[in-house]
A = this chain, B = another copy of it.
Amino acid sequence: MSTEMADPAGAKPTLRDVALAAGVHLATASRALSDSKTRPVNPRTAALVRQAAAKLGYVPDQVARSLRTHRTPAIGVLIPDMTNPVMPPLVRGAEQVLAQHGYTTLFADTDNDQAAETQRLAMFLSWRVAGLILATARRDQPLAPELVNSGVPVVLMSRKLDATPVPSATIDESVGIAQALDHLIGLGHRRIAYLGVPLWTSAGHERLVAFREITRDRGLDLPPEFAQVCDGYSERDGEAALAALLARPDRPTAVLTGNDMMALGCYDAIRAAGLRCPADVSVVGYNDMPLTHRVDPPLTTVRVPYFDLGRQAASLLVEALDDRGSTERSVRLTPRLLVRDSTAPAPT
């Protein structure tokens, strides 16, 4: 069986095959394809090599290249749960700029599980990723030691750490809370409650702190129970918390929640108490997840630019990778209140 022909269906062509076909040396082919700055190559031969490569369907072996160069153009992205509606735009944004810069995105969903996170992190590290984007960070939990002394650059996405200063792309939660509060106050509300998401994320914590500070700032004198944190993120959590508050004689006339699901749960509590939204109680959500414009009533909520946040997180990392770790800065984006129909003037 004579097999003198190039075998498009057989083994993958290697750089040597390309060099052979182009009638040049291996090293020349290498330089031609990666147009080496240090060792320029004759344009004519370069064209020849490129032609041969195309003809053979040559695809450079990233694995071999990485081993040689000790640079792996791959970034690990760790997500706590893709089902969380804020995650898809985050990931989409990150992947977009990473690909733009030639990086491949290694993806993992940890399902909010510590063991899963450790396992995925080890995977990423064994791939010698050039950097890591973490959307899984908990405020109180420092970066894993194996991570810090691996020396791999890390950027936190939509999260921050309390103690350790790690570059991050986050939003200014106080702006979102302030806009929501001022909207409500402008509508004449004075008894405003906050039902927060859990505090183990920086976002959750900052929203609560912002609520406390800004209400004090605006001269609102609220009972401490009016600023509380729920156990979870669900409609049921929001419903239960508001139900308790509505039973009070000094019940709130408006409620601001840490996410949209809880806001929708508030709808249920209001209805169950024989009240109406927004006539009796105004509701403001957070995140502007899909379809919140279609619920009844359409939800007033704080829109967070998650897609941009993902892009920024990736940009930060790419920058750091280029500048050899000089610019370890963070970025902070601004959310914007979206007024719909779940807020109305305070009842008199």
Contact partner, A9, options B12, B105, B119, B149, Cβ 8 Å: B149
Say yes or no for A67: interface residue by CB 8 A criterion: yes
Which chain A residues numbered 176 to 233 have a C-beta less than 8 Å away from chain B?
Answer: none
Also in contact, A122 and B59, with CB within 8 A (given A9-B149, A111-B96, A290-B289): yes
Q: Are B77 and A107 in contact (CB under 8 A)?
A: yes
CA gap between A149 and B7 in the complex, in Å = 10
Bitwise interface map of A from 1 to 42 toward B, beta carbon under 8 Å scored 1, else 0: 000000011001000000000000000000000000000000
Give A64 Cβ to nearest chain B Cβ, in Å.
Answer: 5
Count of identical protomers in the assembly: 2
Q: Are B92 and A104 in contact (CB under 8 A)?
A: no
Q: Chain A: how many interface residues by the 8 Å CB criterion?
A: 56
Q: Are B291 and A150 in contact (CB under 8 A)?
A: no
Given contacts A59-B122, A92-B109, 14 further A-B contacts (CB under 8 A): A8-B149, A62-B126, A63-B127, A74-B127, A83-B89, A83-B92, A85-B290, A95-B109, A96-B109, A104-B108, A104-B124, A105-B106, A290-B291, A291-B295
A–B Cβ pairs within 8 angstroms, 15 of them: A12-B150, A59-B125, A63-B72, A64-B67, A74-B127, A81-B92, A83-B89, A87-B88, A96-B109, A99-B119, A104-B124, A104-B127, A290-B291, A294-B296, A296-B296
Interface residues of A (CB under 8 A from B): 8-9, 12, 57, 59-64, 66-67, 72, 74, 77, 81-83, 85, 87-89, 91-92, 95-96, 99, 104-109, 111, 116, 119-120, 122-128, 146, 149-151, 264, 289-292, 294-296
